[in-house]
Amino acid sequence: MTTPATRLITLIMLLQRRPNQKAAELAEKLGVSVRTLHRYFGMLEEMGIPVYAERGPHGGFSLVRGYKLPPMFLTPEEAVAVYLGTSLVSEMWGQLYHEAAQRGLWLLQPSMKMSHKLGLMV
């Protein structure tokens, strides 16, 4: 089961990947109503994350041009701890948390690749 916090993070990531997305499409991807999606946009604005809406057939919702969440870098020890932790969660609780653990690892892949490029990982 997803929470509003995880849906907000997912919404930010969706908006970072592709600008000008329709509200109905975003709501469907998040599994919420369009009304709830608009509430999430308000929450993002309150957190200082700039969301921009453009009307028209080629319009939609976007993050303000140039806005990106700051990257997260992991030390080798932190990367191992995260990997072992998600593996343990998948083993101990099975399917209940398996998908969430896999998504967590998937979300960390870009930061682990960047850490490796910067020489922070072995």
Domains in the chain: ranges and CATH: 4-63 (1.10.10.10), 76-117 (no CATH)
Query: pLDDT (tens digit, 9 = 90+) per residue, 73-118?
Result: 666 677 778 778 887 877 787 777 778 777 777 777 766 654 455 4
Residue percentage of the chain with pLDDT more than 90: 28
Whole-number pLDDT of residue 37: 96
- Mean pLDDT of the chain, nearest integer: 80
Residue 121, pLDDT above cutoff 60: no
Residue pair 82/74 in contact (Cβ under 8 Å)? The answer is: yes
95 vs 122, more confident: 95
Query: pLDDT (tens digit, 9 = 90+) per residue, 11-65?
Result: 988 998 888 999 999 999 999 999 999 999 999 999 888 999 999 888 899 998 8
Pinpoint the alpha helices (H) of 18-121: 23-30, 34-46, 76-93, 95-117
CA distance 3 to 5: 5
Residue pair 11/17 in contact (Cβ under 8 Å)? The answer is: no
Q: What is the enclosing helix (H) or strand (E) of 55? A: none
